[in-house]
Structure 1
Amino acid sequence: MTKSTKPAAKKPAASKAAPKSSKAVAAPAPAEANKVAKTQIIDMVASATTLSKKQAAEAVSSMLDLIATALKDGKSVGLPGLGTLSVAATAERQGVRPGTSDKITIPAGKKVRFKVASTLKGTL
């Protein structure tokens, strides 16, 4: 009797586990469908040019590094047909801590701003 009850107990557990895993995989897919990853950009650059995937990866990575370096130096970066990235200073301001409602001071800092090119804005 113990042998027949053990396999019976395993079968329902396996059948319950399968639907949960299929639901978990299906849920994140729509959110990722709207995002283009760096690897996808590399594949697009490689297919649009005569570069290999390795060369395209080096080109894309170096371009992103150069943009980040320019922004860290306080320069703006213009991307024709796409827009302009620039660094903007933010002022110190008062905020409220969620949950406790305590007043806090948010320090001054910097943030990256992006202004869309008018040519792209008109086609969206």
Structure 2
Amino acid sequence: MTKEQLVDKIAAHTGATKKSTDAFLNSFLHVVKQQVKKGEKIALMNFGTFEQIEKPEREGYNPADRKHITIPAKKVVKFKVSKAFLD
């Protein structure tokens, strides 16, 4: 499903206009991104949790030449789905 299709479905379900639904969805995504970047955990009941985690530095290898390399530490976003969502 694309974002446009999601906006259409939400607008039909709520009776709101597509324009206001799109604006709300864009605002929601912007706020979630900003808060997760700040290190805040976003928990949405019956849906899931977004949080930023730090992956430690690790060893790897370049498959082209089989030389070992060090993969640097980095921050990634993790989403954990709620148990209620799966039921």
TM-score by length of structure 1 reads 0.67
RMSD: 0.9
For 1:98 and 1:77, how far apart are their aligned partners in 2? Answer: 37
Whichever residue aligns with residue 24 of structure 2, its letter is: A
- Give the match for residue 32 of structure 2: 67
**Partner SS, residue 105 of structure 1:** strand
1:112 and 2:77 equivalent?
yes
Which of 18, 23, 26 is the matching residue for 1:53? 18
Task: Provide, for residues 41-73 of structure 1, a one-character-per-residue CA deviation record: whole Å limited to 9, x for no partner.
Answer: 110111011211111110111101111011111
Instruction: State the match for 1:101 in structure 2.
Output: 66
Give 3-state SS (helix, strand or coil) of 1:68's partner.
Answer: helix
Q: TM-score, normalised by structure 2?
A: 0.94
1:8-27: per-residue Cα shift (whole Å, max 9, x none)? xxxxxxxxxxxxxxxxxxxx
- The answer for the alignment partner of 1:39 in structure 2 is 4
- Structure 1 stretches of 4+ moved >4 Å: none
Q: CA deviation at 1:92?
A: 0.5
| Structure 2 Cα separation of the partners of residues 120 and 57 of structure 1 | 23
Aligned length: 87
SS at match of 1:81: coil
Greater helix fraction, Structure 1 or Structure 2:
1
- Per the TM alignment, residue 120 of structure 1 is displaced from its structure 2 partner at its CA by 1.6
Supply the distance in 1 between the matched residues of 2:47 and 2:13 (Cα, whole angstroms): 18
Extract unaligned runs of 5+ from structure 2.
Answer: none
Counterpart-to-counterpart distance in 2, 1:97 and 1:62: 40
Q: Which of 1 and 2 has greater Rg?
A: 1
Distance 1:81 1:71 in 2: 19
The higher-RCO structure (CA 8 Å, 6+ apart) is 2
Amino acid at match of 2:59: Q
